[in-house]
A and B are shown apart, each in its own frame.
Chain A
Amino acid sequence: MFAMSVSRSQTSPADPALAVSVEGLAKRFVHRSLLRRSEPQVVTALENVTFSVERGEIFGILGANGSGKSTLVRVLSTLLIPDQGTARVFGYDVVREAGEVKRLINRVSVEASFFKRLSAMENLLYASRLYGRHGRGLRADILAVLDRLGITREQVDQPLEQFSRGMQQKVAIARAFLTSPILLLLDEPTTGLDPRSKRDVQALVHQLRSEHDATILLCTHDLDEAEALCDRIAILDRGCLVAVDTPERLKALAARPGAGAPSLEEAFLALTGRTREAELATEPG
C-alpha cells in the first residue's frame, strides 16, 4: 500500500487563494426499512476527506462507481449536508453560506437534467432567469452560445427529448456558460457519450476555463479523460481519499524498479490496492 500523496501544502480551509477547501468531510447514508424490523443499512460515502483546489485549476476526482465522487459534488453543490467536516467554496461554507455558494457555482452531471419536453431555448431561459439574467439580450445570448456549440437555429426550438445524449450534454454545458460560474462541478459529464461528443465536451471544458476564468472540479472514472484535462487528480476509493497529485507524480508513485513507466490506470489500481479484475467486478452491467 502506498502512503497518501498530497502535493502542495494542505492550507487552512479559509485560505482566500483557494477555490475549494474541504477538510475532514464525512457522509454516511442510513437506509431503514419501515416494514421490516431489520438492522439499518449504513453506507459510508465519504470518510475524512481533505483536499483543496486552487483558483483556475482543473482538478480531477478519480474513482470507481460508488467511490463517493457524486456525494462530494452534491455536498459542494449545497444539495447534501455532510455529517462531519467542512467544505468551502471561495471561503464560503457550503452549509452555513449556501446562498453565496450557489451564486458562484454550477454543475454539469452525468444526466443532462432538463425538462425533456421543453426546447433548448426554453430550458436555458428558465436556467438563466434563475441566475438573475433578464432583458432583451438574453435570447440572443442563448442563440449565440448554442451556435458556438454546434446547435443550429432549427434545433433550438425542438424538445430536448429529440436530442442525442451528446447534444443534451452540450446544452448542459451551454447552461453553465450562460450562468458564468467561477466554480464548475462536472460529474462524469462524458459518461456514455460517443468519442466525438466526448472530445467536443472536453474542448468546451477547456474553453470554459479560459474564457470565464472558471475553476473546474471534474469527477470521472475515465482515466484518459482525467489525464488529458486535469492539472491535479485526487483518487477516491470507497469514500477515502488515497492520493492527490499531478498525473505525472501519481504515475511515478506506482513505478516499479526495472519496469517501464506505468500508465495512470496502473497507478490508480496500485494506489487503490485493487486489481483490474476486481475493479471491473464493481462496475455495473
Chain B
Amino acid sequence: MTVDVMPKVSAGSRLWQEVRATYAFIERNLFLMRRYWGWEVAFTVYTVASSLSVMYIGKAQQADQDYLVLYLGIGTLVWSYLRSIFSIISEMIAWERWEGTIEYTMMAPVSRLTHLLGVSLFSVLYGLVRSAFLLGAIALLFDIDLAGANLAGAALVLTAGSLSFIGVGMMAAVLPLLFTERGAEMTFVLSSVLLLVSGVYYPVAVLPGWMQPAARVSPATYVLEGMRAAILDGAPVAALWPMLWPSLLIGLLTIPAGVLVFSAVERYAKRTGRLKRSG
C-alpha cells in the first residue's frame, strides 16, 4: 500500500518528461565544455596537428600522393569523430565520479535509457563539430578533389557507424562502474586497441593474421572501409551495403545490449557499494 503523495502523471507526459530530460545532459555537457574551454582548445589543436602530420606522411610519398592524402585524411577524420563518441559515452561515469556528482545523477528520477541517450546525443553533436573543425583545417592546407565522391553514401555510412559506436561506448561505460579506480584506464586501452585493429591509417590486410579477426568485430573497420569506398571510389549505396549492414547490426545489437548491461552492472554496483564518488 502506498501513500497518495505521488503526482498523477500520465504515461504520455512521463514519456515527454523523459525526452526533455535528455536535454539536461546535453545542456550540462555544453556548460562543462564552456567552463573547460582551455582543454577544448588544447584537444582540438592536438587533433588537428596530429591529423595533419599523418596526412603529410601521404604527401611525402613519391607515388599516388593525392590518393594517399585522401586515404589518410578519411582515416583521421573518421577516427576523430568515432573516438569522440566513444570517449564521451564511455567516460561519463568516470567523469562524474571525479566531479563527485555520480550519486546525484544516479538517484535522479530519469531512466537509465534517457541518461545514456542524452549523453550519446551530445557525443554525436560534439563529434560532428570537432570533425568540422578538422575538415576545415584539412581543406585549408590540402587540395582535395571530391568531384567523384559519393558524399550521400559517406553520410549514410557515418550515420550507421555512429549507432555502432554509441552501442560500443555504452558497453564500455560499465567498466568505470565496475572498477572504480581503473575503469577509465580500461576504456582508454579499449579505444587504443580499436585504433590499432580497425585500419585507421592502413588497410586491415597488412595486420598479422592473428590480429585480423579483431578487425572484423570492430565497427570502426566497416565505417572506414565504407567511407573510403564512397569517397575515394565513388561507390554507390548498393556497393556500400557490405560495409553498412555490419555497422547497423552492431548498433542494433549493442545499443539495447549496452542499456541492459549497464542496468545490470548498475545493480551490481548498488549491491557492492561501488556507486559512489571517488576522491
- B12: CB under 8 A from chain A? no
B231 CB → nearest A CB, Å: 39
Q: Which residues does chain B contribute within 8 Å of A2, judged by CB atoms?
A: none
> Is the beta-carbon distance between B17 and A16 smaller than 8 angstroms?
no
| Interface bits A105-135 vs B (CB < 8 Å: 1, else 0) | 1010101011111100010011101111010
CA distance A213 to B270 in the complex (A): 30
- A78: CB under 8 A from chain B? yes
- B60: CB under 8 A from chain A? no
> Is the beta-carbon distance between A80 and B3 smaller than 8 angstroms?
no
> Is the beta-carbon distance between B32 and A79 smaller than 8 angstroms?
no
Question: Chain A interface: which size bin?
Answer: 35 or more
Q: Which residues does chain A contribute within 8 Å of B104, judged by CB atoms?
A: 107, 113, 127
- A91: CB under 8 A from chain B? yes
A79-B106, A105-B107 given as contacts; is B101 within 8 A of A113 (CB)?
A: yes
Describe A's contact surface by its main secondary structure. loop
> Is the beta-carbon distance between B1 and A129 smaller than 8 angstroms?
no
Most buried by B among A16, A18, A90, A130: A130
A113-B101, A125-B27 given as contacts; is B108 within 8 A of A131 (CB)?
A: yes
Question: Chain B interface: which size bin?
Answer: 35 or more
- A268: CB under 8 A from chain B? no
B114 CB → nearest A CB, Å: 9
- Interface residues, chain A, CB within 8 Å of chain B? 14-18, 29-30, 55, 74, 77-81, 90-92, 99-100, 102-105, 107, 109, 111, 113-118, 122, 125-127, 129-132, 134, 159, 182
Q: Which residues does chain A contribute within 8 Å of B5, judged by CB atoms?
A: 90, 104, 182
Most buried by B among A77, A105, A113, A132: A132
B6, B24, B31, B275: the one contacting A79 at CB < 8 Å is B275
Q: Which residues does chain B contribute within 8 Å of A129, judged by CB atoms?
A: 20-21, 23-24, 27
CA distance A182 to B277 in the complex (A): 25
Q: Which residues does chain A contribute within 8 Å of B2, judged by CB atoms?
A: 16, 90-92, 100
A94 CB → nearest B CB, Å: 10
With both beta carbons as reference points, the residue of chain A lying nearest to B108 in the complex is identified as A130
- Interface residues, chain B, CB within 8 Å of chain A? 1-3, 5-7, 17, 20-21, 23-24, 27-28, 31-32, 35-36, 99-101, 103-111, 267, 270-273, 275-277
A118-B35, A132-B17 given as contacts; is B109 within 8 A of A102 (CB)?
A: yes
Q: Which residues does chain A contribute within 8 Å of B267, judged by CB atoms?
A: 81
CA distance A51 to B222 in the complex (A): 58
30 residue pairs of the A-B complex, CB under 8 angstroms, read A16-B2, A77-B107, A78-B107, A79-B106, A79-B275, A80-B273, A80-B275, A90-B2, A90-B3, A90-B5, A99-B111, A102-B108, A103-B109, A104-B6, A105-B107, A107-B107, A111-B100, A111-B277, A114-B101, A115-B31, A115-B99, A115-B101, A117-B35, A118-B28, A118-B35, A122-B35, A126-B28, A127-B108, A132-B21, A134-B20
CA distance A93 to B263 in the complex (A): 18
With both beta carbons as reference points, the residue of chain A lying nearest to B36 in the complex is identified as A117
A118-B32, A130-B24, A134-B20 given as contacts; is B100 within 8 A of A113 (CB)?
A: yes
A214 CB → nearest B CB, Å: 11
Given A127-B104, A130-B105: 14 more A-B contacts, CB < 8 Å:
A17-B3, A29-B272, A80-B270, A99-B111, A104-B5, A107-B103, A125-B27, A125-B31, A126-B27, A127-B108, A130-B108, A130-B109, A134-B23, A182-B5
CA distance A182 to B21 in the complex (A): 21
With both beta carbons as reference points, the residue of chain A lying nearest to B102 in the complex is identified as A113
With both beta carbons as reference points, the residue of chain B lying nearest to A121 in the complex is identified as B31
> Is the beta-carbon distance between B20 and A79 smaller than 8 angstroms?
no
CA distance A117 to B277 in the complex (A): 17
> Is the beta-carbon distance between A79 and B270 smaller than 8 angstroms?
yes
B20, B31, B36, B277: the one contacting A113 at CB < 8 Å is B277
A169 CB → nearest B CB, Å: 14
